[in-house]
């Protein structure tokens, strides 16, 4: 009886094992089901960017392009002053060198150079009528705010005392000389047509002592302050060559230079301007036969400025003019001074002046 029962159980277990093995390996009729499962897995990989496999390549590339547009630029340090800016997959090279205060001021002075080149004639007199017309001055405001002269005046008037103090000495001197010359031109334009800069003054104040502008946070408001209280008075700025660079809008003044003064070439510019002034026979003359020089009144008015250390005023003056313009003068050379012509350094004749100024104020 027991043997019969044991035999029956063995047969049952064998049948169950066979059934399980048969279900584990689908037959040929189940291939369609296997293929559908495989296809579904492939579709899942294609639509899921996190899954691995070569089938995801095109989708990931598209997604990368979208993400690159949203990513902020990545700065990668390059050689010297050239840095690489990474915009997604694109790489652009830019110059990231910071503009120094020196370069910035030189850039601003270019506006004044443009004005001087355009509005000075062959004698370096100013075409005031043309400048006034181009500025569209109506008696109250300059309508042409895009003009280089307005841009330069904005720089002069917008410079703060803090900025000014941070500059080198040569930068400050260049700024002050250019400011004096540019603000003098502005004064003439606002009062044009006139015959002399003295016409802009009054009974109680001269053209140079009138408070007609404000620069360096209001610390300077007159032309006299620039010349006498800063350039001539403050020890670090004292230099007799400044007299050759400052222009008082008059015929006998040293003529304007056809470029602005800049710190990087200031010493060379002042030397050259001094030579040009002395060699200008309309403003300084020499008679070697009589051993006599006829100099601008500027040398007389500011004789202390031309005094060299250890020399008398006359010996100092003779040494200066010998070095800068009259090489044959000697200790016995006599010095005289020419009369000063205060007529406006105007490149315009009377008929042009009246016609153009009327047109410019309409």
Could you list the beta-strand ranges (E) of the chain: 74-76, 82-87, 90-95, 285-287, 292-295, 334-337
Share above pLDDT 70 across residues of the chain, in percent, rounded to a whole number = 67
Q: Where are the domains of the chain?
A: 69-98, 101-277+347-352, 284-337
Alpha helix segments (H runs only) across 101-247: 101-119, 128-135, 148-158, 161-166, 169-191, 223-224, 242-245
pLDDT band at 107 (very low <50, low <70, confident <90, very high): confident
The predicted-structure confidence for 173-225, as pLDDT tens digits, reads as follows: 999 999 999 999 999 999 999 999 999 999 899 999 999 999 999 999 999 99
Q: 30 or 308: which carries more pLDDT confidence?
A: 308
How big is the CA angle at 190 (ends 184 and 195), to the nearest 5 degrees? 75
The gap from C-alpha 38 to its chain's centroid, in whole angstroms, comes to 69
The predicted-structure confidence for 282-324, as pLDDT tens digits, reads as follows: 999 999 999 999 999 999 999 999 999 999 999 999 999 999 9
Q: Which residue has the tokens 């050379």?
A: 333
Q: 9: which 2 tokens? A: 């159980």
Share above pLDDT 90 across residues of the chain, in percent, rounded to a whole number = 65
Q: Mean of the pLDDT values across residues 122-129?
A: 96
State if pTM tops 0.85.
no
How big is the CA angle at 84 (ends 81 and 89), to the nearest 5 degrees? 175
Check whether 13 has a pLDDT greater than 80. Answer: no
Q: Mean of the pLDDT values across residues 45-60?
A: 43
Q: 325 or 36: which carries more pLDDT confidence?
A: 325
Eight-state DSSP code of residue 230: I
Nearest to 41 by CA among 30, 26, 52, 31: 52
Q: What are phi and psi of 102, to 5 degrees?
A: -65, -50
Instruction: Provide the pLDDT for residue 349.
Output: 76
Pairwise CA distance, residues 246 & 257, whole Å = 10
Instruction: Provide the pLDDT for residue 362.
Output: 38
Check whether 359 has a pLDDT greater than 70. Answer: no
Check whether 33 has a pLDDT greater than 90. Answer: no
């Amino acid at each position: 009886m027991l043997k019969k029962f044991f035999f029956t159980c063995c047969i049952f277990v064998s049948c169950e094992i066979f059934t399980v093995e048969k279900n584990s390996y689908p037959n040929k009729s189940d291939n369609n089901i296997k293929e559908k499962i495989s296809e579904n897995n492939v579709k899942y990989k294609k639509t899921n960017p996190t899954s691995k496999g070569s089938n995801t390549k095109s989708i990931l590339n598209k997604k990368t392009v979208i993400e690159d547009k949203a990513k902020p630029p990545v700065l990668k340090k390059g050689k010297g002053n050239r840095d690489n800016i990474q915009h997604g997959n694109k790489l652009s090279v830019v110059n990231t060198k910071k503009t120094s205060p020196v370069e910035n001021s030189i850039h601003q002075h270019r506006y004044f150079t443009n004005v001087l080149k355009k509005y000075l004639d062959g004698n370096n007199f100013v075409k005031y009528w043309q400048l006034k017309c181009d500025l569209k001055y109506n008696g109250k405001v300059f309508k042409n705010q895009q003009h280089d002269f307005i841009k330069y005046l904005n720089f002069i008037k917008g410079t703060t005392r803090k900025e000014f103090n941070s500059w080198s000495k040569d930068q400050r001197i260049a700024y002050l000389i250019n400011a004096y010359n540019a603000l003098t031109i502005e004064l003439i334009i606002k009062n044009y047509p006139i015959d002399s800069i003295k016409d802009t003054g009054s009974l109680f104040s001269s053209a140079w002592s009138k408070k007609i502008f404000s620069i360096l946070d209001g610390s300077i408001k007159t032309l006299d302050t620039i010349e006498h209280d800063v350039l001539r008075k403050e020890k670090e700025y004292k230099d007799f060559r400044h007299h050759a660079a400052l222009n008082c809008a008059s015929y006998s003044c040293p003529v304007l230079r056809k470029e602005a003064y800049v710190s990087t070439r200031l010493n060379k510019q002042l030397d050259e301007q001094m030579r040009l002034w002395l060699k200008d026979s309309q403003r300084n003359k020499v008679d070697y036969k009589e051993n006599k020089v006829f100099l601008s009144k500027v040398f007389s008015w500011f004789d202390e400025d031309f005094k060299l250390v250890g020399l008398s005023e006359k010996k100092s003056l003779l040494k200066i003019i010998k070095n800068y313009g009259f090489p044959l003068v000697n200790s016995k050379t006599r010095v005289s001074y020419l009369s000063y012509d205060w007529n406006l350094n105007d490149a315009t004749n009377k008929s042009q002046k009246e016609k153009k100024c009327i047109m410019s104020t309409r």
